[in-house]
Amino acid sequence: MAHHKPLSFEASTPMRILVGISGGIAAYKSITLVRRLRDAGSEVRVVLTESALQFVTPLSLQAVSGQPVRSSLFDAEAEAGMDHIALARWADLVVIAPASADVLARMAQGMANDLLTTLILATRAPVAVVPAMNQQMWAHPAVQANLETLKARGVRVIGPASGAQACGDVGEGRMVEPEAIAAQLLAPKSSVDWQGKCVVITAGGTREPIDPVRFIANRSSGKMGFALAAAAQTAGAEVTLVCGPNTLPTPFGVTRINVETALDMQSAVKGIAHMDVFIGAAAVADYRVAEPATHKIKKSADADTLTITLVKNPDVIAGVAQRNPKPIVVGFAAETEQLIEQATKKRITKGMDVICANRVGAGLVFDQPDNELIVLWAGGEQHFPPTEKTTLAKQLIELINKIIH
């Protein structure tokens, strides 16, 4: 029986990935791999072998992973934080890239003579290896036998690729490129097939300038829209994310258009010729300053009040709902009272097919990782209890898919 869980990456995006790096010139590419995995929404922790330290620095990997990097089993301070058993349990997936001939041999033998190999024995998470070595070494029967042993235990082998090698040889043994590794690890895992569909999502809050240094903004973080973009991309769609200013990483494979104001958002959306599904998750400012000052507004010595005139912004989502052909239009309604009534009214007046209603108020929803939604459409409603926005986004894409079929 396999020691590790079966290698099914279909169920959901692995969220906690332990990247093991062993000694090889390809280790520099692992920095990009960590970035790509994080772009896809995963949390990453990195463990280096002793020889990997000769090729990449813990500092670079700490910077890209945003987490402390470990290489020694006998690091009292690190063990006091998350000990090696806790780290092995933490992982949803372990990937070793590059996997040297040496680490493959140690794994095949079940050795635990450093932190990485110890973790591999201590984890129940699926393990993938991405071999990288000289073509002659790769072809050696000892390496191939070790690989067979590992495969038989359920370890997934990615690559190697063929081509020019750092040593000057040409042949099999190059490490698969980071983008391809990330794509294989995170590949189709949605029950929804939106291949060929164009999905446009607005996210985040807009900024409406008052003068060159001030603006009107809101508490929207953009997290829900970004999670939806990731979920739609995972379902195979071509996703364009039109978003207000924020610092969230662009989800893997998503085209991002940065905008600032509601008017910018409207023209960016208008500029997209075709869309099958539109999801308006942005908190678009309802009003903008009628005439933003060209120079910084000075504090007045003789007036205690300042009046700024606001004018109504165009409604982005209502504009999309008037398109011909009309895409499936999904909107959000953040309400502090009469949630269902207000949301239903909004859905109908704005011409939306589906509306996701959520209660907002002190400490609720905005800028929080969790959310709770009541989804309403002409034929029914569904309540999603509080959960992480990433999980909710997947459930919502599945529901939209059901509603439109």
The residues that are catalytic are 167
**Strand pairing partners for 163?**
171
Cα torsion for 312, 314, 316, 319, to the nearest 10°?
140
CB of 357 to ligand C5P, least distance (A): 10
CB of 234 to ligand C5P, least distance (A): 22
CB of 306 to ligand C5P, least distance (A): 25
**Strand pairing partners for 212?**
none
* 240 touches ligand C5P by CB under 6 A: no
Print the SS3 string covering 142-192.
HHHHHHHHHHHCCCEECCCEEEECCCCCEEEEECCCHHHHHHHHHCCCCCC
Q: Which member of 70, 106, 174, 346 binds ligand C5P (CB under 6 A)? A: 346
Cis-peptide, bond into residue 314, ω within 30° of zero? no
The number of helices, as runs of H, and strands, as runs of E, in the chain is 14, 19
* 262 touches ligand C5P by CB under 6 A: yes
User: Measured from the CB atom, is 178 or 222 closer to ligand C5P?
Assistant: 222
CB of 255 to ligand C5P, least distance (A): 19
User: Measured from the CB atom, is 186 or 281 closer to ligand C5P?
Assistant: 281
> What gap in Å lies between CA 131 and CA 157, rounded to an integer?
8
User: Measured from the CB atom, is 132 or 320 closer to ligand C5P?
Assistant: 320
Q: Looking only at residues 50 through 69 of this chain, which bind ligand C5P when binding is defined by CB under 6 A? A: none
- Span interacting with ligand C5P, options 137-145, 213-221, 290-298, 311-319, rule CB under 6 A: 311-319
CB of 86 to ligand C5P, least distance (A): 41
- Span interacting with ligand C5P, options 93-101, 118-126, 189-197, 276-284, rule CB under 6 A: 276-284
372 close to 386: Cβ distance less than 8 angstroms: yes
* 114 touches ligand C5P by CB under 6 A: no
CB of 265 to ligand C5P, least distance (A): 7
Question: Hey, what are 47's tokens?
Answer: 């463990």
* 328 touches ligand C5P by CB under 6 A: no
CA 321 to centroid of chain Cα atoms:
28
User: Measured from the CB atom, is 239 or 333 closer to ligand C5P?
Assistant: 333
For 390: left if phi > 0, alpha if psi spans -120 to 50, otherwise beta; the answer is alpha
* 317 touches ligand C5P by CB under 6 A: yes
> What gap in Å lies between CA 258 and CA 287, rounded to an integer?
20
HSE-CB of 214 using CA atoms within 13 angstroms = 13
* 331 touches ligand C5P by CB under 6 A: yes
User: Measured from the CB atom, is 182 or 375 closer to ligand C5P?
Assistant: 375
DSSP state letters, 310-359: EEEPP-HHHHHHT-SSPPEEEEEEEESSSHHHHHHHHHHHHT-SEEEEEE
**Strand pairing partners for 58?**
none
Q: Looking only at residues 283 through 302 of this chain, which bind ligand C5P when binding is defined by CB under 6 A? A: 284, 286
* 315 touches ligand C5P by CB under 6 A: yes
Q: Which member of 226, 332, 366, 377 binds ligand C5P (CB under 6 A)? A: 332
CB of 318 to ligand C5P, least distance (A): 7
CB environment 9-19: b (16+ within 10 A), e (fewer) = beeebbbbbbb
N-to-C CA span, the chain: 41
Q: Looking only at residues 365 through 404 of this chain, which bind ligand C5P when binding is defined by CB under 6 A? A: none
* 316 touches ligand C5P by CB under 6 A: yes
DSSP 240: E
Q: Interface mask (CB under 6 A) for ligand C5P, residues 2-21, using x and -?
A: --------------------
Q: Interface mask (CB under 6 A) for ligand C5P, residues 169-208, using x and -?
A: ---------------------------------x------
Give the three-class secondary structure for 360. Answer: coil
* 347 touches ligand C5P by CB under 6 A: no
* 282 touches ligand C5P by CB under 6 A: yes
Neighbours of 86 (CB within 10 A): 11
- Which positions lie near ligand C5P, rule CB under 6 A? 202, 262, 280, 282, 284, 286, 313, 315-317, 331-333, 346
